[in-house]
Amino acid sequence: MGRKMITKKIVLIGDFSTGKTSLIRKYVDNQFSDEYLTTIGVKISKKIVNLSTTNDVQLLIWDIEGNTDVKAMNPAYIMGANGIIIVADSTREKSIDNIKDHLQTCSKLLKKVPIIIALNKSDLLNDDFIMEQLLTNLKNLYSEIDFIYPTSAKNGRNVELIFTNLAQSMLEISR
């Protein structure tokens, strides 16, 4: 019996300029750029992950344009997602406050999908205590979320981990 390929759709959502595209580029291509690239609409990347001896998971990673005060995300992009990564900029309080809005949008459109919160740009926070406080507060606020991680597309902190844990969680749900 050969290996089985399972395809899963992951959507990264969050405010503009939180580093969604940078996290995907780091994960898929192991690249990072300081240049800010605005995502218009959606861009889809693929990566195959070997999670077990019998399954390969092809991740279809949807990079959706970020929310702004003027423009909300198109809910059609979220439909059919098997997993969500909500990305906030750990140095921008408003993007962290908006996590609750992203969670509400997801809960309206999707039933029982794993969600991970990525506090990106953790390399810009020089104070570990502040990051620990942020993580503790978010874990208390969003106790239903299994994984909340500080991430950095620049230095790679927890980038592989968020995608691998989400892929694993999606597989467990689909069993």
Please state, in angstroms and as integers, the Cα–Cα distance from residue 120 to each residue in 3, 69, 70, 126, following that order. Answer: 34, 20, 23, 13
Domain boundaries 4-174, CATH class: alpha beta
Helix (H) or strand (E) holding 148, with range, is: strand 147-150
Please state, in angstroms and as integers, the Cα–Cα distance from residue 157 to each residue in 55, 72, 80, 94, 162, following that order. Answer: 26, 29, 28, 22, 10
Give, for all 175 residues of the chain, the pLDDT tens digit: 567 889 999 999 999 999 999 999 999 998 887 776 666 678 899 999 988 767 789 999 999 887 766 567 778 889 999 999 999 999 999 999 999 999 999 999 998 899 999 999 999 988 888 899 999 999 999 998 989 999 999 999 999 999 999 999 998 887 6
> Where are the chain's structural domains?
4-174
What ranges make up the beta strands (E) of 29-141? 42-50, 55-64, 83-89, 115-120
Q: What is the reported pTM?
A: 0.92
Listed in sequence order, the residues at least 6 apart from 137 whose beta carbon sits closer than 8 Å to its beta carbon are none
Locate all alpha helices (DSSP H) within the chain, ordered by sequence.
Answer: 20-29, 93-97, 99-109, 128-141, 159-174
**Residues 159 and 3 sit within 8 Å (Cβ to Cβ):** no
